[in-house]
Structure 1
Amino acid sequence: MRLDKFLAQCGVGTRKDVRTYIKDGMVKVNGQVITKPEIEINENDDVIEYLDKVVTYTGKVYYMFHKPGGCITARKDAIRKTVFDFFEGINMNGVFHVGRLDKDTEGLLLLTNDGEFEHKLMYPEKHVEKTYFFWALGSLDEEDRKKLESGISIGKGEKLTKPAKIEIDKCEMYKEFEQETCIGEFYKMDSRRYDQPVVSGYLTISEGRKHQVKRMLKAVGCFVIYLKRISIGGLTLDESLEKGQYRLLTEVEIQKALGEV
Structure 2
Amino acid sequence: MTSPDRASPSPLAALARANPRLDRLLQPLPEPIRAALGRTASERSFRRGEVIVTAGEAGGEIGFVLDGALGVMQTLAGGRAHVLGILAPPDLYGLPFDRAPRHRVEALSDGLRLAFDRAGLEQILDREPALERMFLTAALEDLQAVREWLLLLNGGQATQRVAAFLVILTRRRRTLDARRKEGPVKVRLPAPRVDIARHLGMRPETFSRAIHKLADDGLVRIINPETFEIREPAALVEASGADLTLDGPGP
Q: Report the TM-score when normalising by structure 2.
A: 0.26
Q: Which has the higher helix share?
A: 2
Q: Report which of the two structures shows the higher radius of gyration computed on alpha carbons.
A: 1
**TM value normalised by structure 1:** 0.25
